[in-house]
Amino acid sequence: MPELPEVENARSVIARAALDREVVDVDDHDTWVCRPHPPGEIRAALVGRRLTVAHRRGKSMWCETSGDGPVLGIHLGMSGKIVVADPDGTEVDGGDYWERGRAPGDFRYSRFALTFADGGRLMLVDPRRLGRIRLDPPIELLGPDATEITPAQFRAMLGRGTAPVKARLLDQHAIAGIGNLLADDILWRARMHPGKPVDDLSADEVAALLRATRYAIRTSVAGGGVHTLEIVRMRGPDARCPRDGTPMSHGTYGGRSTWFCPLDQRL
DNA sequence: TATAGTGTTATCGG
DNA sequence: ACCGATAACACTAT
């Protein structure tokens, strides 16, 4: 589910509904999601504090806490979602993608939760448990956020080597926020083959790639998620290129499932 | 029952 | 040590 647009939405949910509320309890019992912290460590660090600001870079979020407290790092992984609920369990914000059909208050896949003084809760709902909660996360390891990257940074990010361009777009240390679906849409818009070695990119191709990146991110953030991207809706066995009707090719690039138009995305 | 999957990272080989 | 490829992680939906 989550790429940059979904994570930005989750950040705004936190900013809108979870800031400046006193934390009275923390559920950090899931030692996989909360690794490397032992149970109770995050709880001890947060009880009595408030979240004061919610930040995002790429797909990573972090919240500052009151009283010189630690930074709370939040990553949604593949299936994570932020849900804020009222004391009675009614969902206030965050959507219900993974929880269709459940009764109010039945957050079966809640893997981490803050309880506020009024009984309301902020939860990481994550069926696959690939999301992550940690204190003082190493955000500095991430590349520039994909919404803010400059042409010079973009050029430097592409770097050299024989890596396929799609693999580089997915490298969060190079540029932060592009996931598998955004990458396919960007490459389709730039008419570039996902397996093209970054060594072979001309200056014009780099410029076209940056334009496509900005366009895809802008439209998918505005649309509310990567699902609104034209090429993403085309995925599947009968997918055809929206430009020319050619059956889409399917393969693996950068270790991920990849759909592309064999006619106009050339090496 | 078998398989794919929107993310990250440890590990392996060159 | 650097770079790139792959497996593994945990679990659900189809």
Catalytic residue among A56, A59, A81, A134: A59
Residue A242 known to be catalytic: no
Class of A143-260 per CATH? Answer: mainly alpha
Query: Residue A185 — pLDDT band, cuts 50, 70, 90?
Result: very high
Nucleotide closest to A126 measured between CA and C1': C11
Gap from A19 CA to B3 C1', in Å?
41
Residue A259: predicted pLDDT: 93
Given this chain, do its domains A4-139 and A143-260 carry the same CATH topology? Answer: no
Nucleotide closest to A181 measured between CA and C1': B6
Gap from A48 CA to B4 C1', in Å?
43
Residue A98: predicted pLDDT: 52
Catalytic residue among A21, A214, A243, A256: A256
Nucleotide closest to A160 measured between CA and C1': C3
What value does the mean pLDDT take over residues A209-225?
A: 93
Each domain of chain A, given as residue ranges in start order, spans: 4-139, 143-260
Residue A205 known to be catalytic: no
Which positions in strand B are less than 7 Å from the protein's CB atoms? 4-9
Residue A35: predicted pLDDT: 92
Residue A105: predicted pLDDT: 72
Gap from A79 CA to B6 C1', in Å?
8
Residue A91 known to be catalytic: no
Please, what is the average pLDDT of chain A?
Answer: 91
Residue A35 C-alpha from the chain's centroid:
19
Q: Cβ of A33: how many Cβ atoms within 10 Å?
A: 21
Residue A100 known to be catalytic: no
Nucleotide closest to A137 measured between CA and C1': B8
Residue A94: predicted pLDDT: 62
pLDDT at A7 over 70: yes
Q: What is the CATH number of domain A4-139?
A: 3.20.190.10
